[in-house]
Amino acid sequence: MLTGHKCQFSVAGWSENSYQDIGNGEKLTKAQVIKIYSGAIEGESSTEYLMSYTIRGSAEFVGLERLSGTIGGKSGTIVIRHAGIFADGIARSSWQVVPGSGTAGLAHLYGEGDYSAKLGEPALVTFSYSFSPNSN
């Protein structure tokens, strides 16, 4: 069974570059982001986001994040798959641990979650996880 937890992350680095300017503020970008987690997840991650900005200034994004840290007293790495939106100064994402991506103590971690972050503030993360492949 998945159990719910809360933590937060702060952005320690952000590098974003446009790879296609469409015009009128519309563009496609790639962002490389370093995050520091505290709380139920302790660790650091590197995330690659692909973002699509609209003329309204909002953006939809997808990404892969490699997290190195401790969850539930176990240490290792996992990969997280993101899908989200940035609008009105708030980023929101839902995410899932990529099955089979865990190493060491996190080798059998399964989970999902979401976060919400106002621009320039730590993200509030809610996630559920289990160390069993048969968790629902």
- pLDDT of 135 reads 46
The answer to whether the CB of 95 falls within 8 A of the CB of 129 is no
Residue 136 — pLDDT band, cuts 50, 70, 90?
A: very low
The verdict on domain 3-130 having CATH code 3.30.420.40 is: no
Q: What one-letter code names the amino acid at 105? A: G
Residue 2 — pLDDT band, cuts 50, 70, 90?
A: low
- The model's pTM is 0.91
For residue 65, give both structure tokens. 């994040």
Among all chains, which residue has been given the structure tokens 């899932």? 96
Across the chain, where does the E strand assignment appear? 3-23, 26-39, 41-53, 59-71, 74-87, 90-97, 110-118, 123-130
Q: Where are the domains of the chain?
A: 3-130
3-state secondary structure of 109: coil
| Residues 9-33, mean pLDDT to the nearest whole number | 96
Q: How confident is the prediction for the chain on average, in pLDDT?
A: 93
